[in-house]
Structure 1
Amino acid sequence: MVNPGRVCCITAPFLLSIAVLVCLVLVFIAGTYDRNDTVDDLYFLKIDLTNLTLSSSANIADTLDGANSTALGGALETAKQSLGMKDYYTIYMRSYCSWNGNDTYANCTDPTAYFWFNPVSVWGLNSTGESVDDLLPKSFRDGLSAYHAASKAIFYLYVFALSAAAVTLVVGISAIFSRWGSFFTTFCAAAMALMMIGASVTVTAVYIILKGALNDALKKDYGIVSTIGTKVLSVTWIGTAFAVGAGFFWLLSVCCCSGRSPYHKNRDEARRTRAEKTPYTYERVGSPYLGPSDHQSVPLHTMGAAPGFQQPLQHHQHQQTAYEPFRPQVV
């Protein structure tokens, strides 16, 4: 039988581990369902192109070479009008969605591993007859390169965190019966917490850099605005807090709440318990109160002869070993 105290001891870390798993699943399935406001609202970055315009020549001259700026603006205009560039793009860990007007979170792509969003190819800018890669500012190219390089690390960190959360729950079942189970579960929970911390820190830093690069290059001159998805960052950081808490409580359960059931002692302890004398039980009292036993022949009182009366020697000897009369000899 499972010890109820042990069950209560691991309930908190077990529930926290489940919460971590739920947060990770939300991050993984975000952007995989068309027009689903619940999960598709968990985007890392949103790009708004509804106000796409060309800036004045003075503003262009302040940021980029005039000819290059005009060429890039022309490529953006052509992509918007002729190549199917959408009004909105939302970027997720494994896919992106794009739509026009109020058709929110439509046209979501199939999820892929190591996904990264390349605006040049997605918007079809190189199909406008311009070599856009040479027209983009250096800050934009550097930010995009950092995002591309980190996309694999982000994917691996989240996959490992998801795997560690699942293993923690499976191994955590053994913690119901023994503190050794908690000991091994603690290692899995520690790995889960480390992966969650790494994933949350990396994804936050990378998308902040990407947002800055896009806004620096495209917001002022072309009206393209990028914003960070605060909801998904809240989910991943809440999951990180749950993971750290789960690791702490799994470690605490190693030291507390033994898994040994009080209703199932070991054999030696049970044997010792049966050998102990319990109160209010009958136990025969030995002689002299209940008469002699096989090993006791001492009389209570010797019965001598009356004064002046002579008995034969044998009878006298027999009388010296007689027991007190009127006492029961057998119980």
Structure 2
Amino acid sequence: MVAMPSFRSLRAGGRNKEDTSRAAATTRSSSDRTLTPTDGSFVQGVDLKRATQTRYRAILASSFLYALSTIFLILTIIGNVNTKPVIRSTYFFKLDLTNLIPASTPADITFVNSLARSLGLHDFYQVGLWNFCEGYNGEGITKCSTPQGLYWFNPVEILLNELLAGATIALPANISNILNLIKIASHLMFGFFLTGVCTNFISIFIAPICIYSRWISLPFVIFTFISALLTAAAAIIATVMFSIFKNVITAQAGLNIGASLGTDMLAFMWIGAGSSVIAWVIHLCLLCCCASRRDVKQGRKRGSKYAYGNAATDEKKRPVRKRIILPKFGRGSTSAEIV
């Protein structure tokens, strides 16, 4: 028997070529969508958001700390400006003149208190950043001075101005020697607190840009270092200055002037300063660790290992599909895929 030759349809061959080119285009399109979609969430098969998740969380923590610092520094700044709750109990320093006349004086205690008031003195004076308030133990605060910028507490001037004409009071000699130092320190503290609260507030909104590059973090670290330095310096100045003032004012034997530091104010300003310093340390660490988006794009640093999953590895492991044409007697042809 003579073998009959087989003929291949040109039309079928054309269709096969079109099918092959269409399948290749579909494969390329699918590959492009997998590796570089238009939404920007992947770059060359890497999930940028997931790769920089550690850095993102650190920045969120720093923003929270800056917000916390701003809140407590504001409480420090507005302390003692009026007689409203919380504000009236927030002060740096309290001067207590209740026992100005010694208790050993042979007189009735009621008469002693009325005598002290007749001199024009109040039972206590408490100091804030902007002003001072005065009052009596049984009545509370009766008056607060007008807030003024660069305020500093001068107890000699206040007490002497409130005494009636001709009345005098013996004050420790050391107080006059440190008044100039108190004035300079108070002016520095005032400026540092205001600058610190402003820079911390700005840092809340600037911090997220550090997710894009470690180079951007460098100027931000310098900016936040200044903020942390000012707030910490202000807290140190306030603590040291009023502690020394307390020791000096109570060192005079027989004068019976009491003095105390405001625990609420100290807590507020140190929480604010501490939060600012910790946030700065976080951004200092971000200079050398935790991959940024720019690092991941350029391959300088690898982020989270879970960001380099299926999208990047599946393309390498994807099997190669070949299309072959099998001859068939008659019209048309058939195709098959071999993996």
Distance in 1 (CA, whole Å) between partners of 2:274 and 2:212 is 27
Of structures 1 and 2, the larger Rg is shown by 1
- Match 1:279 to one of 304, 314, 318: 318
Residues 1:172 and 2:220 are matched in the alignment: no
Q: Which amino acid is the alignment partner of residue 21 of structure 1? A: T
Residues 1:255 and 2:299 are matched in the alignment: no
Cα drift, residue 11 of structure 1? 1.8
Unmatched runs of 5 consecutive residues or more in structure 2: 1-40, 42-47, 106-113, 299-311, 335-339
Cα drift, residue 132 of structure 1? 6.0
Distance in 1 (CA, whole Å) between partners of 2:49 and 2:87 is 40
Secondary structure of the equivalent of 2:260? Answer: strand
Secondary structure of the equivalent of 2:129? Answer: coil
Q: Which amino acid is the alignment partner of residue 117 of structure 2? A: K
Contact 1:97 1:109 in 2 (8 A): yes
Secondary structure of the equivalent of 1:227? Answer: strand
1:120 corresponds in structure 2 to 156
* Structure 2 CA distance for partners of 1:55 and 1:326, relative to 1, 3 Å: closer
Residue correspondence of structure 1 range 154-233 to structure 2 within 5 A: 154-217=189-252, 220-233=253-266
Cα drift, residue 154 of structure 1? 0.9
1:80 corresponds in structure 2 to 117
Cα drift, residue 143 of structure 1? 2.8
TM-score (norm 1): 0.67
2:90 corresponds in structure 1 to 42
Q: CA RMSD in A?
A: 3.8
Secondary structure of the equivalent of 1:226? Answer: strand
Q: Deviations over 1:3-40 (max 9, x none)?
A: 2514323122111111211221111010123142x232
Highest relative contact order (Cα 8 Å, sep 6+), 1 or 2? 2
Contact 2:134 2:143 in 1 (8 A): yes
Distance in 1 (CA, whole Å) between partners of 2:186 and 2:140 is 25
1:96 corresponds in structure 2 to 132
Q: Which amino acid is the alignment partner of residue 190 of structure 1? A: F
Contact 1:290 1:329 in 2 (8 A): no
Contact 1:168 1:189 in 2 (8 A): yes
Q: Which amino acid is the alignment partner of residue 100 of structure 1? A: Y
- Match 1:25 to one of 54, 57, 74: 74
* Structure 2 CA distance for partners of 1:24 and 1:88, relative to 1, 3 Å: same
Distance in 2 (CA, whole Å) between partners of 1:245 and 1:259 is 21
Cα drift, residue 45 of structure 1? 0.9
1:296 corresponds in structure 2 to none
Cα drift, residue 177 of structure 1? 4.2
1:306 corresponds in structure 2 to none
Cα drift, residue 119 of structure 1? 2.1
Aligned length: 264
Q: Which amino acid is the alignment partner of residue 200 of structure 2? A: A
Distance in 2 (CA, whole Å) between partners of 1:41 and 1:241 is 22
Q: Which amino acid is the alignment partner of residue 23 of structure 1? A: F
Distance in 2 (CA, whole Å) between partners of 1:205 and 1:47 is 16
What is the aligned-residue identity percentage? 24
Contact 1:52 1:224 in 2 (8 A): yes
Cα drift, residue 230 of structure 1? 2.6
* Structure 2 CA distance for partners of 1:129 and 1:98, relative to 1, 3 Å: closer
* Structure 2 CA distance for partners of 1:100 and 1:143, relative to 1, 3 Å: same
Distance in 2 (CA, whole Å) between partners of 1:104 and 1:3 is 56
1:245 corresponds in structure 2 to 278
Q: Deviations over 1:87-138 (max 9, x none)?
A: 11111111111111333344223322111122233234486445969x6443
TM-score (norm 2): 0.65
